[in-house]
């Protein structure tokens, strides 16, 4: 069984690499969320803020963000760059004590680390009536199928897959993906939408290996095996790689009482 809790707590050791090698979030993401909201959003709660990549996007537009991050090293990296309108809190989402509600609750590549039990009732309790929930994920994939196949073969002796499977078992070919599937089943939310922001990025092969060094599946390997995997993948990579880093966005609105 996949140990999600161990994976969730593995990022602190590579906080600086996470900030350096993970792609950030574009203006299109902010515009998409605000268009969906249809009204000004003044306050937001971020679940699992990491090093602050999405935090900076929303705060940069004047939103007062409360950024939750349970890992001390990730939080320290986040605190290096956040503006004055961000309040950082070292806490897991499940440990937060609700106070005033927010206009927006969002998670950027972090929701799958939260516990499923009571997830949506906690989100709803933190939202104003008709407040917005947003979740986005940005899986990085090699755009060239031949390069992807070479990397898969090089990785195989160490890892069968480096992906995080869908938390509710939704198959990749299904039109609606998680967490939209759970939001549709919830009685607490309505107007569930799924959108994709397409991105193609080019990076040096060394930076792609740097990105892999922030992927939880590799972080679960013993260090020697991890380095062997990186070395094997490096041998099959061209000097630069094109990556598909589409951002999958799910939006929902809390039902009014």
CATH number, domain of 21, equals 3.40.50.150
pLDDT digits (tens, 9 = 90+) for 75-100: 999 999 989 999 999 999 999 987 88
In-domain check, residue 113: yes
Number of domains in the chain: 1
Q: pLDDT category, 240, cuts 50, 70, 90? A: very high
In-domain check, residue 64: yes
Which runs of consecutive H residues, i.e. helices, occur in the chain? Answer: 4-8, 15-21, 27-37, 53-59, 72-79, 119-125, 145-155, 180-185, 205-212, 216-219, 223-236
In-domain check, residue 10: yes
In-domain check, residue 82: yes
pLDDT digits (tens, 9 = 90+) for 95-132: 998 788 999 999 999 999 999 999 999 999 999 999 99
In-domain check, residue 217: no
Residue 187 has pLDDT above 80, yes or no: yes
pLDDT digits (tens, 9 = 90+) for 153-168: 999 999 999 998 899 9
Q: pLDDT category, 49, cuts 50, 70, 90? A: very high
Report, as an integer, the average pLDDT of 172-187: 96
pLDDT at position 66: 97
pLDDT at position 8: 44
| Strand 240-244 with 141-142, pairing | antiparallel
Residue found by looking up tokens 């206009």 in the block: 103
In-domain check, residue 111: yes
Tokens of residue 102, six digits: 């927010």
Neighbouring C-beta atoms of residue 145, cutoff 10 Å: 9
Angle, nearest 10°, between helix axes 205-212 and 223-236?
Answer: 150
Range of the structural domain that residue 111 is part of: 4-138+164-200+244-254
In-domain check, residue 148: no
pLDDT at position 3: 43
Tell me the Ramachandran region of residue 15: left when phi exceeds 0, alpha when psi lies from -120 to 50, beta otherwise.
alpha
In-domain check, residue 159: no
pLDDT at position 213: 94
Residue 4 has pLDDT above 70, yes or no: no
- Asked if 170 contacts 179 with a C-beta cutoff of 8 angstroms, the reply is no
Q: Dihedrals φ, ψ of 12, to 5°?
A: -55, -35
Residue 180 has pLDDT above 80, yes or no: yes
Angle, nearest 10°, between helix axes 145-155 and 223-236?
Answer: 150
| Strand 43-47 with 102-108, pairing | parallel
Q: Is 207 exposed, middle or buried (CB count within 10 Å of its CB: 0-12, 13-18, 19+)? A: middle
């Amino acid at each position: 069984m996949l140990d999600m809790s161990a994976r969730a707590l593995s990022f602190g050791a590579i906080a600086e690499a996470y900030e350096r090698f993970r792609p950030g979030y574009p203006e299109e993401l902010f515009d998409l969320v605000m268009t969906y909201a249809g009204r000004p959003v003044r306050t937001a709660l971020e679940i699992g803020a990491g090093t602050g990549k999405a935090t900076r996007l929303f705060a940069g537009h004047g939103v007062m963000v409360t950024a939750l991050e349970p890992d001390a090293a990730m939080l320290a990296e986040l605190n290096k760059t956040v503006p004055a309108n961000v309040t950082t809190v070292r806490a897991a989402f499940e440990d937060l004590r609700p106070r005033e509600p927010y206009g927006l609750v969002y998670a950027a590549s972090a929701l799958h680390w939260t516990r499923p039990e009571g997830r949506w009732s906690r989100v709803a309790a933190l939202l104003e009536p008709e407040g917005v929930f947003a979740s986005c994920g940005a899986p990085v994939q090699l755009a060239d199928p031949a390069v992807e196949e070479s990397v898969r073969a090089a990785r195989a002796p160490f890892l069968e897959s480096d992906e995080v499977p869908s938390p509710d078992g939704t198959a990749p070919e299904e039109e609606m993906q998680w967490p939209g599937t759970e939001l549709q089943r919830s009685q607490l939310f309505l107007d569930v939408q799924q959108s994709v922001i397409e991105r193609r990025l080019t990076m040096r092969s060394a930076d792609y290996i740097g990105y892999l060094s922030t992927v939880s599946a590799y972080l679960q390997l013993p260090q020697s095996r991890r380095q062997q995997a990186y070395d094997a993948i490096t041998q099959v990579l061209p000097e630069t790689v094109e990556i598909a880093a589409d951002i999958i966005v799910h939006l929902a609105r809390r039902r009014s009482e």
